[in-house]
Amino acid sequence: MQFDSKKFAEDDRRDIKIKTGRTQRDALTVLELLDEMKKNHEPHARERFPSAMLNEKYFHGKQFVDIVDEKVDNAIWGDDNALPRVSLNYVSNNVLSYAARILEDRPTVKGWPSDPSRYDAAATEMANSLIQYLHQKIDLDAMMMRAAVLAQCHGSIAIKPTWDPDAGPFLKVPHIDEETGLPQVDPQTDEPVMVESEERAGDLRWDLVTIFGYLTDPVEDERDSMGCGFRP
């Protein structure tokens, strides 16, 4: 996608113009393109969403449901809970087995020095430490397992990184003396006394989004899409 320098303004829809390069037509704006993608996806989403929900319920062991009037319902099996219902959840075992096989040789990220200098070696070590820290912080292994399971139930999965202002540690601010109205100072260190505020520092948030939560260009393979828009 190509963007011009026009300032984005969502409130009056004077947003950035886009040239997709795939169609011979005038340039679209970002919002116009998202509206068009949503319009093209809605019929397919309504058609396939019940099947995806049914797959997910079967995975969780809810075998006595089916699609009725384009909705997942148990009406076809009846609502008599007094009847004994015995089922073997082969679906869950198969999904978890395939998920483990999918993730067995998944790609990894690691930094390598571009030259044998001490500076580059130290920078590479720091980068790998940061990658390992993020790996543990977001519990990447558990996230990838959930992604592999949802991908089998829904057909596709995406990871949506966003900035969450309500996450992260609480910000520390100087303690204000009620009498003087000035920051309180530690007499031993001459440093301001810091206390936690109600405001957080913010942090990255990683959410798994199924195919029904994001939109792509109408291409045969979504990996060839030139853009992706997430539903709110």
For the chain, percent of residues with pLDDT exceeding 70: 73
In tens, the pLDDT along 32-79 reads: 777 777 787 777 777 778 888 888 888 887 777 766 666 665 545 555
In tens, the pLDDT along 5-31 reads: 333 334 444 445 555 544 445 566 767
pTM listed for this prediction: 0.64
DSSP one-letter string for the chain: -EE-SPPP-TTTT---EEE-SSSSSPPEEHHHHHHHHHHHHHHHHHHHHHHHHHHHHHHTT--S-EEETTEEESTTT-S-TTS------HHHHHHHHHHHHHHTT--------SSS-HHHHHHHHHHHHHHHHHHHHTTHHHHHHHHHHHHHHHS-EEEEEEEETT-SPEEEEEPBPTTT-SB-B-TTT-PBPEEEEEEE--EEEEEEEEGGGEEE-S-SSGGG-S-EEE--
Q: What pLDDT sits at residue 22?
A: 47
